[in-house]
Amino acid sequence: MIPQGWTIGRLAGVEIKINTSLLLIAFFVAYVLANGIFPLVVPNAPVLLYWLLGGFFSTLFIGSVLWHEMAHVVTAQRYGLPVVQVVLHLFGGVAQIARDPERPAHEFWIAIAGPLSSVVLAVTFGALSTLDGLVGAGCAWLAQVNLTLAVFNLLPGFPLDGGRVLRSILWRLSGSYRMATRQASRVGQVVAAIFVLFALWMIFRGLWFNGLWFILIAAFLYSAASASYRMAVGASLPMQTTVRQIMRYNVPLIEPTMPLALLAWRYLDHARDQAFPVVQQGQLVGLITSAETDKYPRLEWGRVHVDQVMIPLARLATVSPDDTIATALRAFDRTDTNHAPVVYQGQIVGMLNRRDIVYRT
């Protein structure tokens, strides 16, 4: 569902792309400003001035969409979620996060960050709208657009931001990620249907362009919501499922004296989302993940050892193969962690990740 485009650079380590369809929107925005709004504010100004300022504020509009998406990116990165790319396209933009959040609270804040950032821009441009002439008019238009963007994205139509906020709330209430996804996706389909009815009403009133635009948005929303629903269909694991049924076996054991460079070369560069137990003389002493290694510049990894950055045993959750996944989730929450070594009769027999549970329940 994610369109592609031209790479224009990187921000916060994330590739930024512009889809060709965005050029249509950029031209349309410049046209509306140059031929509809600016001539009403300052009549008889040079046409070239209208178009130059129209192009300028059209660029600021695209920047506003990027600002919105980067709010999602920064928040996702704060929670340790890798972001692959940001693509700006006909319907706005999308930040492609490599995997869904593992906690309802993380989902909530990542989703709400975009609309909140748009509100900040709306307030900022609203303050600048007091400027005289065409600049003030352009800022007033951007304030209105950013406020509209925030409100539209807060509609509970999954996968809009509001739909993801809804899923986070349903997930928190039910404890089931898959059930919350199915419910939020159904609401997204209903919102898409409402958009179609609204579009038909506008077409009936003679507003053909607006009506067709809403139909396009409805089709995009319905398709995305339906795809999300299909992915979440299927039986969820009961909370009494044992850890041994979903744990990872044959996990490498890491020595505390191993340099980070060797750890990355052997393991982390191939599985950055995994965690590895740190063992000294057969005893578990800690856990190492990419989040800990990333605290140091890569050029220093040759002189920094695992025991200098690992999560110590005192801060870890450990589970037994015979524990239920409900028990494991409580252990994760109690220690505020996402990974747990699986220990049986004093020996490490595997690893359990929070998402191994979340995405199956």
pLDDT digits (tens, 9 = 90+) for 27-86: 989 999 999 999 999 998 999 999 999 999 999 999 999 999 999 999 999 988 888 899
Region 144-157: mean pLDDT is 91
Measure the CA–CA gap between 150 and 299, rounded to whole angstroms: 41
d(CA 161, CA 290): 28
Average of per-residue pLDDT across 306-313 = 94
pLDDT value at position 55?
95
CA 135 to chain centre: 33
* CB half-sphere exposure, 66, CA atoms < 13 A: 19
Amino acid 349 reads V
The answer for 234, left when phi > 0, alpha when psi is -120 to 50, beta otherwise, is: left
Give the chain's length. 361
Residue-wise pLDDT for 82-104, tens only, equals 888 999 887 778 888 878 888 99
* 8-state DSSP, 237: P
Q: Which CATH architecture has domain 243-358?
A: Roll (3.10)
Question: Domain residues of the chain, as ranges?
Answer: 1-154, 167-235, 243-358
Task: Name the more confident of 150 and 202.
Answer: 150
Concatenating the DSSP letter of every residue in 54-116 gives: HHHHHHHHHHHHHHHHHHHHHHHHHTT--EEEEEEETTEEEEEESS--SSHHHHHHHHHHHHH
Residues 341, 244: Cα–Cα separation, whole Å: 12
Under the banding of pLDDT at 50, 70 and 90, the label for residue 212 is confident
Distance of CA 279 to the CA centre of its chain: 35
Looking at residue 263, its pLDDT comes to: 93
One DSSP character per residue, 267-284 reads IITT-TT-EEEEEETTEE
What's the rounded Cα separation, in Å, for the pair 79 and 106? 7
When the pLDDT of each residue in the chain is averaged and rounded to a whole number, the result is: 89
Alpha carbons 111 and 73: distance in angstroms, whole number:
10
Which of 106-120, 239-253, 261-275 bottoms out in mean pLDDT, i.e. has the lowest? 261-275
Q: Report CA torsion sign: 175, 178, 179, 182.
A: positive
- Give the pLDDT confidence score for residue 53 in this predicted structure: 95
pTM score, whole prediction? 0.83
- Note the pLDDT tens digit of each residue in 323-342: 999 899 899 889 888 899 99
pLDDT given at position 285: 94
Which pLDDT score is estimated for 3? Answer: 57
Amino acid at the residue 200: L
Among 235, 246, 240, 266, smallest CA distance to 353 is for: 246
pLDDT at position 2 is: 53
Are 32 and 26 within 8 A, CB to CB? no
Does 353 have pLDDT greater than 70? yes
What is residue 344's predicted lDDT score, i.e. its pLDDT? 92
Over the stretch 14-23, which tens digit does the pLDDT of each residue have? 999 988 888 8
Question: Pairing relation of β-strands 14-18 and 83-89?
Answer: parallel
Judge whether residue 219 has pLDDT over 80: yes
Q: In this structure, what token pair is assigned to residue 180?
A: 């919350």
Rounded Cα distance, 154 and 110, in Å: 13
